[in-house]
């Protein structure tokens, strides 16, 4: 069946806008795109609504069965996986890369046909990455996960290597919301929240996660704020934090080097956890096939994020910014400052979500925000999660551009680019806003 959709067409290449424009769809493929209202037969007129490619998110977690994160943590349930897929879809995303690298191919395909979101598989199966996971958690790993190889998974259908490193293996956010609170609760019975755990961690190890950064005055303040004064001794807190965070670090760094070698051997792209703690190693292994994940990591000061992003771009890496839940928190939150600074400097190639402890916003949320704040125009914002992916990594997906012959994956946005009105996958409407 051939039909035509009319509206403001943003093709995804970062430049082209047809206002009005039309997209002609035949079954699951785009047949034609152009200016004006197009063929009159079977025409659906959406007024001034924006018709764009379905968004492609290169940094997402929890989209398949099997061990989650680079920590090899236990699998999510079927219901949890489906709920995450639906959140992405309702945010305008039609394709997402699951950067949980430890699931086996069979696990990654178990729910593939139960939801319209297309999921790209990654692999992190290498010795150092397994060791890093085991030192941080590893409770979701079975012998078959540890024995699998990147070559086997790529042959089976995985298209990217990663995510190499994670907050749990490199002293990041997962330590703050999961492992450090659990360790302190086990040690003394006190429950600390994510913000207090982060403050304790940074007092003991600093933003770069190094025991030489110990700040005893800062630790005293952090312990008081967390309700630990008089409950735990300073040295006990230092021991607990250090034991929680440090054992996996060197293994995670070596895992990045293994991934870079595997990428060079196979040609597959690889995505790494870029943060203040891992930045030097990320720069060391950077090249044209590397995706530097969350260049806006909250451990960076804005000027640090800009400095490292410039160096990574010089080396040919793709710069990914992760929206996390930064733009649904209180306005002006400091953690969003690196994101804004990088967009202002033009140091962004693609935008994803990451995980944020499961509280992530769909990728459309940060795109809406940077347009609303005047940091970028709509065509370039759309390209950050569509055409830029399609053009840089054609082996990952055929989606991401409105061009003849490509999948009829569409996202329809309000004319002000602040809401998702509908989503089509392979020419089928899979979501309509109420």
Whether residue 299 is found in the same domain as residue 407: no
pLDDT at 94 over 60: yes
Whether residue 284 is found in the same domain as residue 148: yes
- The pLDDT assigned to 232 comes to 97
pLDDT at 40 over 90: no
pLDDT at 332 over 60: no
Whether residue 224 is found in the same domain as residue 316: no
Whether residue 275 is found in the same domain as residue 155: yes
- The pLDDT assigned to 354 comes to 98
pLDDT at 331 over 80: no
Whether residue 261 is found in the same domain as residue 136: yes
Q: What is the pLDDT averaged over residues 290-302?
A: 98
Counting the structural domains of the chain, the total is 3
- The pLDDT assigned to 41 comes to 86
How confident is residue 434, by pLDDT bands cut at 50, 70 and 90?
Answer: confident
- The pLDDT assigned to 330 comes to 63
How confident is residue 169, by pLDDT bands cut at 50, 70 and 90?
Answer: very high
Task: Dump pLDDT digits (tens) for 51-83.
Answer: 999 999 999 999 999 999 999 999 999 999 999
The CATH number given to whatever domain includes residue 336 is 3.20.20.140
Whether residue 271 is found in the same domain as residue 318: yes
Range of the domain at 7: 2-53+400-432
Q: Which of 167-181, 187-201, 323-337, 410-424 has the lowest mean pLDDT?
A: 323-337
Whether residue 305 is found in the same domain as residue 225: no
Phi-psi region of 88 (alpha: psi -120 to 50; beta: other; left: phi over 0): alpha
Whether residue 283 is found in the same domain as residue 232: no
pLDDT at 276 over 80: yes
Q: What is the pLDDT averaged over residues 89-111?
A: 99
Whether residue 160 is found in the same domain as residue 292: yes
């Amino acid at each position: 069946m051939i039909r035509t959709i009319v509206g403001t067409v943003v093709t995804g290449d970062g430049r082209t806008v047809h206002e009005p424009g039309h997209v002609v769809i035949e079954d699951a493929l785009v047949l034609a795109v152009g200016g004006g209202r197009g063929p009159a037969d079977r025409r659906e007129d959406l007024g001034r609504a924006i018709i764009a490619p379905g968004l492609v998110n290169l940094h997402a977690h929890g989209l398949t069965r099997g061990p989650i994160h680079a920590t090899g943590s236990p699998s999510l349930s079927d219901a949890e996986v489906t709920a995450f897929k639906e959140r992405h879809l309702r945010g305008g995303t039609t394709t997402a890369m699951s950067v949980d690298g430890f699931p086996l191919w069979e696990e990654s395909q178990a729910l593939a046909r139960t939801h319209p979101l297309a999921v790209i598989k990654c692999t992190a199966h290498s010795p150092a990455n397994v060791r890093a996971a085991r030192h941080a958690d590893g409770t979701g790993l079975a012998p078959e996960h540890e024995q699998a190889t990147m070559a086997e998974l790529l042959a089976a259908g995985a298209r990217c290597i990663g995510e190499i490193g994670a907050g749990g293996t490199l002293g990041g956010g997962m330590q703050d919301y999961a492992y450090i609170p659990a360790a302190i609760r086990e040690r003394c019975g006190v429950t600390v929240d994510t913000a207090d755990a982060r403050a304790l961690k940074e007092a003991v190890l600093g933003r770069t996660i190094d025991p030489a950064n110990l700040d005893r005055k800062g630790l005293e303040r952090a312990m008081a704020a967390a309700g630990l004064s008089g409950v735990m001794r300073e040295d006990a807190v230092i021991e607990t934090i250090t034991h929680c965070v440090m054992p996996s670090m060197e293994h995670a760094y070596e895992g990045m080097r293994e991934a870079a070698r595997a990428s060079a051997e196979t040609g597959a792209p690889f995505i790494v956890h870029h943060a203040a703690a891992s930045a030097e190693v990320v720069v060391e292994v950077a090249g044209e096939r590397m995706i530097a994940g969350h260049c806006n990591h909250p451990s960076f000061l804005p000027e640090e994020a800009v400095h490292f992003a410039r160096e990574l771009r010089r080396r040919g890496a793709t710069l990914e910014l992760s929206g996390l839940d930064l733009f649904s928190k209180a306005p002006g939150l400091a953690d969003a400052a690196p994101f804004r600074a990088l967009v202002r400097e033009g140091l962004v190639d693609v935008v994803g979500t990451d995980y944020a402890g499961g509280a992530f916003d769909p990728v459309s949320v940060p795109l809406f925000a940077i347009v609303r704040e005047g940091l970028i125009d709509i065509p370039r914002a759309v390209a950050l999660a569509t055409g830029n992916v399609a053009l840089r990594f054609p082996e990952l997906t055929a989606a991401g551009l409105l061009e003849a012959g490509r999948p009829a994956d569409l996202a329809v946005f309000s004319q002000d680019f602040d809401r998702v009105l509908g989503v089509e996958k392979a020419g089928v409407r899979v979501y309509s806003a109420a």
